[in-house]
Structure 1
Amino acid sequence: MIKDRILGALYGQAIGDAMGMPSELWPVQKIRACFAGRMTTFQDGPKSNPVARNYTKGQYTDDTNQAFAILDALIENHWIPDRQIIVKHLMKWAYAADAFNRNILGPSSKAALLAIQDGRDPKSVTDQALTNGSGMRIAPIGTLFDPGHTDELIAMVDSVTRVTHSSDVAISGAALIAGAVCAALAFEHWDDVIDYAIDVQNRAFKLGSPTWAASVRERLFIGLDLAHKYVDDQSAFEKAIYETVGTGTLASESIPAAVAIAYYARDVRRCALLAANLGGDTDTIGAMATAICGAKAGFGSIDPDWTGLIDSENRQHCIPNYAEAIMKFREGNNES
């Protein structure tokens, strides 16, 4: 049961990322024009999209590649977060993907990694990092713990996140996503998932450097209200999230939007397609939201054609192997 949900979270992350890739950073009007109204399945990155044109149908982007790079770093060091090892794996991916030249890396991660590589203290960058790089790659961390290990979950999120993002909004936003995934593995009711995620977010917020960013928690409340208001009108819900909560690259927009979308969609297929058609940072919102839905619904609920496409188009990773490693960690951690 737990392994099925872990696989669901990992594949959900990858599916949401790959589905949202073609429309990444486009306004909703451009998505409608390019895809004859709506995207209905995976697509190649359009040549007119300066970021997505680097990818083909079913390939995931920096979100999931970084998520798995972080898992590789943790596995290498026996699940103890180490900044230099995390940076090593992130840079290995970045150079392999030519991420610096192809405009694939987000601004905060790019600045922090370059500073570390040059031997400079990245704190001036990371303390003011307001972007969603912290949340886009954190979902697999949520699979490592059950809700009885909340302190350990928060400590892991904090250690992994502050390598590139150490602001209050970045750490709390990452904690919201990881908390939602953690709870989705364990709880049957969606309201319990949300309550736990908010509690984790509240506690993690205190660990970050203060910023003037809007509250992730308060924007999530707006998104949840919209989910209830438009429960029978998805088009109205999408429009309201896009215009009110926001779908841009700021953590205070895309992270609460993603959790509200997961709460609304409650299904991997619906969630991935909703996020891809939303406008804004579609791949990142899709990765975060669909990971939560995958954790809740499990691998068995996902179309095998979709998971097969993810496997065939992203051969640099073996997702079932990550699930096995996570299961071994959980078994050892729960015994301690």
Structure 2
Amino acid sequence: MTRTEKGALGALTGLSLGDALGMPTQSMSPAAIHEAYGRVDTLRDAIADQPIASGMPAGAVTDDTEQALIVAELIIDGKGHIDPKELAKRLLAWEDDMKSRGSLDLLGPSTKLALEQVRQGADIMTTGRTGTTNGAAMRVTPVGIANRPKDTRRLANRIYESCQVTHDTVAGFQSAALIATTVSLGLEGMTVRQALQESLRLVPAMETSGAWTPKASVPARARQAIRLSEEFSDEGDFERHLIEDCGTSVESNESVAAAFALAWRFAYDPQSALFAAVNLGGDTDTIAAMTGAMTGASAGPEAFDPTLCSRVASVSHLDLQKTARGLIALRQ
């Protein structure tokens, strides 16, 4: 397996494992997580009163992985391009299927608002103009795998294709671009920290037609979060201040920033980064999924516990190698 192939598989593996580890803790407070599970350091069944994933089995993934795989399919079918109309159609079909199964794991707030407008016949050029949450960032990893970073304009265009219909804002685009660019740089052979730093340099310079919003800048918050990750030697102090000073909500300038802090702090131990992420509270599955994608792209799949990865693949019926190969063929 080449370095690029290892990076592609590592990114998808880290994404799915982080997602599955965070499934039982998502949308819970740190105190509620501790009361229900203690310290989460393995795959766990969701408790019966889990607010989103009630009773889901250990190893099950959520919308983070499933939507990323939808994006991957569209990229492969479109020979590198994503048709925003087809993305909207696939996401609506995915949610309808989830509803039919009685699942509460549905579309996030920005995506749901945009796609309800699509369902009612709105022009997709207008539907994403308020989306600032992390829905685009959580599903963008395949774009980073399929596109090299040296052509930043093409990379930016492909990222925009993936977020326009639901997150057509500066914050929505930059959050997705930070994840995709970091993943793409990791596949080029950069270390985790090198990729994070270079992504923070490249993304603010990328042009986007996304709408301005009064939200704090995602790259600026990510830089602050990295500094926070270096300030505290004690893990408990670091996690507490990450929760209080950065935030772990679905807003991109909190969750993407938190993922950058975790990836930076645990650059040499990606598995521990995921364990830290899923105990923070808030949008734990998405923070862990983004952290896993970025660290896995540089470190490869061997950075993660193979037993846990095998269980996720089995329970969630994933063939990540096939997906990685399809995306890498387009990258070449």
Question: Equivalent residue for 2:284?
Answer: 282
Give me the whole-angstrom Cα distance separating, in 1, the residues matched to 2:136 and 2:256: 9
Secondary structure of the corresponding residue to residue 54 of structure 2: helix
Quick check: 2:218–2:256 contact (8 Å CA) kept in 1? yes
Question: Equivalent residue for 1:330?
Answer: 331
Measured at CA, do residues 189 and 302 of structure 1 come closer, stay the same or move farther in structure 2, by a change above 3 Å?
closer
> What amino acid is the match of 1:285?
I
Q: CA deviation at 1:328?
A: 1.0
Question: Equivalent residue for 2:48?
Answer: 47
Question: Equivalent residue for 2:246?
Answer: 245
Question: Equivalent residue for 1:62?
Answer: 63
Q: CA deviation at 1:147?
A: 2.4
Give me the whole-angstrom Cα distance separating, in 1, the residues matched to 2:207 and 2:108: 22
Quick check: 2:10–2:301 contact (8 Å CA) kept in 1? yes
Bigger mean CA offset, 302-311 vs 269-278 = 302-311
Quick check: 2:9–2:301 contact (8 Å CA) kept in 1? yes
Measured at CA, do residues 22 and 205 of structure 1 come closer, stay the same or move farther in structure 2, by a change above 3 Å?
farther
Question: Equivalent residue for 2:87?
Answer: 86
Q: CA deviation at 1:321?
A: 0.7
Give me the whole-angstrom Cα distance separating, in 1, the residues matched to 2:77 and 2:55: 29
**Where do residues 1-336 of structure 1 align in structure 2 (5 Å cutoff)?**
1-36=3-38, 38-53=39-54, 55-98=56-99, 102-103=103-104, 104-121=106-123, 125-204=127-206, 206-230=208-232, 232-266=233-267, 267-315=269-317, 317-331=318-332
Q: CA deviation at 1:33?
A: 1.1
* Identity of matched residues, %: 30
> What amino acid is the match of 1:96?
D
Give me the whole-angstrom Cα distance separating, in 1, the residues matched to 2:100 and 2:299: 33
Q: CA deviation at 1:189?
A: 3.7
- How many residue pairs were aligned? 328
Q: CA deviation at 1:125?
A: 4.5
> What amino acid is the match of 1:136?
M
Give me the whole-angstrom Cα distance separating, in 2, the residues matched to 1:204 and 1:215: 14
Residues 246-290 of structure 1: CA distance to partner in whole angstroms, max 9, x if unpaired? 100111110111111111112331111110011110001001011
Quick check: 1:69–1:93 contact (8 Å CA) kept in 2? no
Measured at CA, do residues 191 and 4 of structure 1 come closer, stay the same or move farther in structure 2, by a change above 3 Å?
closer
Q: Report the TM-score when normalising by structure 1.
A: 0.92
Quick check: 1:31–1:279 contact (8 Å CA) kept in 2? yes
Q: CA deviation at 1:97?
A: 1.9
Quick check: 1:99–1:105 contact (8 Å CA) kept in 2? no
Q: Report the TM-score when normalising by structure 2.
A: 0.93
Q: CA deviation at 1:78?
A: 2.0
Q: CA deviation at 1:87?
A: 1.9
Secondary structure of the corresponding residue to residue 99 of structure 2: coil
Give me the whole-angstrom Cα distance separating, in 2, the residues matched to 1:206 and 1:88: 24
Give the gaps of 5 or more residues in structure 2: none
Residues 152-178 of structure 1: CA distance to partner in whole angstroms, max 9, x if unpaired? 111111111112110111111111111
Give me the whole-angstrom Cα distance separating, in 2, the residues matched to 1:178 and 1:207: 18
Give me the whole-angstrom Cα distance separating, in 1, the residues matched to 2:261 and 2:45: 27
Quick check: 1:108–1:125 contact (8 Å CA) kept in 2? no
Give me the whole-angstrom Cα distance separating, in 1, the residues matched to 2:185 and 2:250: 25
> What amino acid is the match of 1:70?
V
Give me the whole-angstrom Cα distance separating, in 2, the residues matched to 1:188 and 1:270: 20
Give me the whole-angstrom Cα distance separating, in 2, the residues matched to 1:211 and 1:97: 31
Give the gaps of 5 or more residues in structure 1: 332-336
> What amino acid is the match of 1:63?
D
Quick check: 1:94–1:100 contact (8 Å CA) kept in 2? no
Quick check: 2:76–2:330 contact (8 Å CA) kept in 1? no
Q: CA deviation at 1:195?
A: 2.3
> What amino acid is the match of 1:233?
D
Give me the whole-angstrom Cα distance separating, in 1, the residues matched to 2:205 and 2:235: 32
> What amino acid is the match of 1:141?
V
Q: CA deviation at 1:54?
A: 5.8
Secondary structure of the corresponding residue to residue 56 of structure 1: coil
Give me the whole-angstrom Cα distance separating, in 2, the residues matched to 1:235 and 1:226: 13
